[in-house]
Amino acid sequence: MKKIFLVLIVAVACSKENTDMEKPAIQISSPVNGVEYLVGCDTCALPVRATISDNDELNACKIEAHSAAGHGSHVSLMKALTASWLYDTIIDAKGNKKIELSLSISLKEVQDTGEFHFLIYATDKSGNESLAERDIFFRLSAQ
Ligand SMILES: [Zn+2]
C-alpha cells in the first residue's frame, strides 16, 4: 500500500512542471498550392499572407522560398539546395502569442523557373518547432 502512495506523489509532481509541448500553428492563406507566378519583371511578386500563433509565446519565424529541383521533401534539405534563387528571412516574434504576416516578395531578379517550395517555420519560447509548406511555380514573364 505504501508503494502505491509514493508512485502517485511522483506523478503529480511531474505534471506540475507544465512543460509546453504544443507547437505553434501556421496558417498560410497566400500562396496556395499549385499557383503559378510570373518572374523577371518589375512588378513580379509573391504575396505572402499568414497567421502564426502559439498557445504560450512565439519566438521567431522564418520565411523561405527555393527551387524544388533535386529534392521532393525537406528531410534532406541541407544537401538539396541548388545555387538558384533563394529567399530567406527571419522575423522576431518574441512576446507575441499571435502574429499576422503580410508582405510581398519581389520576384524581379528571379531567372529560374519551374517548381518552387515556399516554407514558413515557426518556433515558440519552449523550442517547439512547426513547418508549413506550399508548392508553387515560377514562369518567366514575357516582358
Ligand atoms: Zn524544397
Confidence at 2, pLDDT banded by 50, 70, 90: low
What's the rounded mean pLDDT across residues 22-44? Answer: 97
| Average pLDDT of the residues in 20-35 | 96
pLDDT tens digits for range 64-74: 999 888 777 66
- Give the DSSP per-residue string, 104-121: EEE-TT----EEEEEEEE
Confidence at residue 11, expressed as pLDDT on a 0 to 100 scale: 56
What pLDDT is attached to residue 19? Answer: 86
User: How far apart, in whole angstroms, are the C-alpha atoms of residue 130 and residue 71?
Assistant: 20
pLDDT tens for residues 81-107? 555 788 999 999 999 999 999 999 999
Q: Ligand 1 center to residue 24 CA distance, Å?
A: 21
The amino acid at residue 48 is V
Residue 140 has pLDDT above 70, yes or no: yes
Give the C-alpha separation, 84 to 72, whole Å.
16
- Rounded to the nearest angstrom, the gap between the alpha carbon of residue 45 and the centroid of all alpha carbons in its chain is 19
Domain 19-140 CATH superfamily: Immunoglobulins (2.60.40.10)
Ligand 1 center to 95 CA (angstroms): 30
Query: Are 19 and 126 spatial neighbours (Cβ–Cβ below 8 Å)?
Result: yes
Which of 113, 119, 112 has its CA nearest to residue 135? 119
pLDDT at res. 86: 87
Residue indicated by cell numbers 515558440: 124
73 CA distance to ligand 1 middle (Å): 6
Residue 123 Cα to ligand 1 midpoint, Å, equals 19
78 Cα to the center of ligand 1, angstroms:
10
Q: Which amino acid is at 112?
A: D
User: Looking at per-residue confidence, does 71 or 16 come out higher?
Assistant: 71
| Domain range list for the chain | 19-140
* Separation of CA 84 and ligand 1 centre (Å): 12
Strand-pair category, 98-106 with 45-53? antiparallel
